[in-house]
Amino acid sequence: MSAETPVETLTEQQAQAELQRLAKDMAAHDAAYYQDDAPTLSDGEYDALRQRNEQIENRFPNLKRADSPSDKVGATPSGAFGKVEHSVAMLSLGNAFTPEDVQEFDTRVRRFLNLEPDAELALTSEPKIDGLSASLRYEKGVLVRGATRGDGRVGEDITANLKTLPDIPHRLPEGVPDVVEIRGEVYMSGANFAALNARQIAAKAKPFANPRNAAAGSLRQLDTKITAARPLSFFAYTWGEMSYLPADTQRGMMACFEAWGFRVNPAFIGVTHPDGLLAHWADIEAQRASLGYDIDGMVYKVDRLDYQARLGFVSRAPRWAIAHKFPAEQASTQLNAIEIQVGRTGALTPVAKLEPVTVGGVVVSNATLHNGDEIARKDLRIGDNVVVQRAGDVIPQVVKPVLQARPENSLEFVFPTHCPECGSAAVRDVDEDGKADVVTRCTGGLTCPAQARERLKHFVSRAALDIDGLGQKQIDEFWQANMVQAPQDIFTLQTRFEDNPPPKWLYANGPKDKLGTLKESVKKLFKAIEARKTVDLDRLIFGLGIRHVGETTARGLARHFGSLEKMMQDVRDMGRGDGALRADLEAVDGFGETLLDSLVAFFGEEKNCESVQALLTAGVRPTPLEAVAQDTPVAGKTIVFTGTLVQMTRAEAKARAETMGAKVVGSISAKTDFLVAGAEAGSKLTKAQGLGVTILSEDEWVALASL
């Protein structure tokens, strides 16, 4: 038997020996890679070993070793790159799918800016490149840092790798601003992708699924020589920090970028009407296959930079730009089974188990079916041939069954009446009008293990605690080993480690070893956990998994309460019937009744309060959000807007006040600091006068806001 013996012909005994050899070899390569930063194999060669190990395990599942390389923590070299905090966040884009969505974008922008319907609004249009975004920082014309997007606030330092790209200049011409941050997309062309995969196959290495994965894999190499050997390209399309802006339009900025030596997309155009956007979209869609690189839609931007500044951002996307996606790619396959997943809120979600099929360059074998009604509406049966689709980064969907090809023995799916994980009754909530919710929920609450486990996964997810090396899979393992049952357990893991039988996968050489021989990756994990004891308050609040608390709401709550203790106290007081407190909270913009009820329900549950308290006791120190701007006359103040504003819309006024650090609320109380009264202000003005609140005219507000 040799490493070349096909997996299909291995006897059980041979397979066992081979798995042992692979585990030993790969552990040695890992040590060389992670601890010594001196890889003994190329990425491709390593992948080939990994793949062979997996193939053997798939054929002989009972032979899978306790120290199997496929269960290793931190298989990707993440953590090996330094972190870079972006001085200006790298944002994502909102999506448009239909011409109506695009029209609405134009209308929304005009409304926000208070433009007349026939006023000119110049827009730009360019392809949305399907690659990875990168930010390049130049100081005094010299490239000093290149970073990935990461979570938008903190990325990874990949300067050395980015410097190998021929499209990325190391120096900018004389006379550029002192600080220039160019942002754009790193991608691999179709031709280069095909050639790379041919080389991978010739080297018996695993081919990449699509150009985007190939670009990502190539960019995140610890060995810069590997990146240099992978042909990557770069289009510039936006910027981060700039000591000054060298132009006053998007078009002007692109012209500068080009003059400075960057490539900008040749299909970038300016238009003056949304119809122009739609025509360009159709034009580029028709050329999509012949462009030579993957794009997944078009990006439209407001051309004037003063408008962009006024429009600002909502959550993580700019109001002044939108991505208009191309239609999803489709394929047909067989629906083998429908499984039920229990989510962190107890929602029972049916998941389609599909015969694996490639859609848009990615192999799809699972797709969400949303809920029971959806299955009935689409008339899906187990065994059906179905059409599946994937739109960009969106989760795959089952579109419909192919009725002409329905097998006779296809089976109707009966939605369970009990939670498959804990056996509690599964019910659909009914609203005041007697209408049943589409979602069926497990009523097990805190006793349902699946809910508890999913809550943990949410707690460590990227937008929440985001602990390096502690992903979904590791949570499953720790859960099964009874080591982590609630969020606070994560932070006491290291101290309990020696007393408990830890999961086998944590060890380098089997469970008998002591802490001294822990895998490097586990030491790293403990370090990462320790580091996350200092976490942004909003991330922690989001991580608690309170219903109706998304990332934006979590930020609002963090800003409002300033600490977990205060939030818990106020919500519990409100739950005990403190009406004045409730009225105050209801007045805060974005805090509706549903949210407040949900907070009360969450903190009304003793176990949840204990869990929060235990996190604090375990040493978790949430850091309050910095006030957006502290040196403004309205920072920390509460403002109410009323009446008709003519110089800016209500939305713009509110956004502006919030960026200046103010809290915008809807009704007047003794706690209101300012009332901005536009034309025809009514009862709020009278009430404010009565309470002695400072009243500003629109002109006074504008003067204040443009400071």
Nearest distance, CB of residue 491 and ligand IVH, angstroms: 32
Q: Which is nearer to ligand IVH, 311 or 662 (CB)?
A: 311
Determine how β-strand 123-129 pairs with β-strand 95-96.
Answer: unpaired
Distance CA(576)–CA(597), nearest Å, equals: 12
Helices (H), 289-364: 305-311
Determine how β-strand 321-325 pairs with β-strand 95-96.
Answer: parallel
Residues in Cβ contact with 143 at an 8 Å cutoff, skipping those fewer than 6 apart: 136, 137, 159, 163, 168, 169, 170, 171
Q: Which is nearer to ligand IVH, 129 or 645 (CB)?
A: 129
Q: Which is nearer to ligand IVH, 133 or 192 (CB)?
A: 133
The two three-digit tokens of residue 549, written as one number: 């608390």
Q: Which stretch binds ligand IVH (CB under 6 A): 128-136, 302-310, 407-415, 454-462?
A: 128-136
> Is 242 a residue that touches ligand IVH (CB under 6 A)?
no
Q: Which is nearer to ligand IVH, 150 or 169 (CB)?
A: 150
Residue 351 CB neighbour total at 10 angstroms: 15
Q: Which is nearer to ligand IVH, 91 or 518 (CB)?
A: 91
Distance CA(363)–CA(390), nearest Å, equals: 10
Closest CA to 604 of 398, 492, 445: 445
Are 88 and 95 in contact by the 8 Å Cβ rule? The answer is no
Q: Which is nearer to ligand IVH, 86 or 344 (CB)?
A: 86
Distance CA(549)–CA(539), nearest Å, equals: 11
Residue 108: φ, ψ to 5° = -60, -45
Distance CA(485)–CA(688), nearest Å, equals: 51
Closest CA to 398 of 438, 435, 360, 353: 353
Are 428 and 443 in contact by the 8 Å Cβ rule? The answer is no
Q: Which stretch binds ligand IVH (CB under 6 A): 121-129, 165-173, 250-258, 536-544?
A: 121-129
Residue 467, burial from CB neighbour count under 10 angstroms (0-12, 13-18, 19+):
buried
Q: Which is nearer to ligand IVH, 184 or 543 (CB)?
A: 184
Nearest distance, CB of residue 121 and ligand IVH, angstroms: 18
Q: Which is nearer to ligand IVH, 299 or 375 (CB)?
A: 299
> Is 91 a residue that touches ligand IVH (CB under 6 A)?
yes
Q: Which stretch binds ligand IVH (CB under 6 A): 116-124, 171-179, 191-199, 317-325?
A: 317-325
SS3 for 382? Answer: strand
Minimal CB distance to ligand IVH: which residue?
Answer: 133
Q: Which is nearer to ligand IVH, 128 or 137 (CB)?
A: 128
Distance CA(83)–CA(361), nearest Å, equals: 30
> Is 129 a residue that touches ligand IVH (CB under 6 A)?
yes
Distance CA(48)–CA(480), nearest Å, equals: 30
Residues in Cβ contact with 84 at an 8 Å cutoff, skipping those fewer than 6 apart: 145, 147, 150, 154, 155, 156, 157
Q: Side chain identity at 120, as an amino acid letter?
A: E
Q: Which stretch binds ligand IVH (CB under 6 A): 90-98, 221-229, 278-286, 459-467?
A: 90-98
Considering only residues 282 to 311 of the shown chain, the ones binding ligand IVH according to CB under 6 A are: 299
Q: Which stretch binds ligand IVH (CB under 6 A): 123-131, 349-357, 429-437, 450-458?
A: 123-131
Instruction: Map tokens 């920090």 to a residue.
Output: 241
> Is 388 a residue that touches ligand IVH (CB under 6 A)?
no
The one among 29, 50, 128, 457 contacting ligand IVH by CB under 6 A? 128
Q: Which stretch binds ligand IVH (CB under 6 A): 91-99, 478-486, 589-597, 638-646?
A: 91-99
Q: Is 435 marked active-site?
A: no
Q: Which stretch binds ligand IVH (CB under 6 A): 318-326, 414-422, 464-472, 474-482?
A: 318-326
> Is 237 a residue that touches ligand IVH (CB under 6 A)?
yes
Considering only residues 168 to 207 of the shown chain, the ones binding ligand IVH according to CB under 6 A are: 185
SS3 for 330? Answer: strand
Nearest distance, CB of residue 169 and ligand IVH, angstroms: 19
The one among 63, 93, 291, 618 contacting ligand IVH by CB under 6 A? 93
Closest CA to 627 of 657, 670, 591: 657
Helices (H), 261-401: 274-287, 305-311, 372-378
Q: Which of 24, 64, 83, 128 is catalytic?
A: 128
The one among 74, 318, 401, 556 contacting ligand IVH by CB under 6 A? 318
> Is 232 a residue that touches ligand IVH (CB under 6 A)?
no
Count residues near ligand IVH (CB under 6 A). Answer: 14
Q: Side chain identity at 17, as an amino acid letter?
A: A
The one among 30, 43, 57, 126 contacting ligand IVH by CB under 6 A? 126
> Is 653 a residue that touches ligand IVH (CB under 6 A)?
no
Distance CA(615)–CA(609), nearest Å, equals: 10
Nearest distance, CB of residue 18 and ligand IVH, angstroms: 42
Element of type H or E holding 368: strand 362-368
> Is 156 a residue that touches ligand IVH (CB under 6 A)?
no
The one among 162, 219, 321, 676 contacting ligand IVH by CB under 6 A? 321
Which residues are marked as active site? 128
> Which stretches of the chain bind ligand IVH, using CB under 6 A?
91-93, 126, 128-129, 133, 185, 237-238, 299, 318, 321, 323
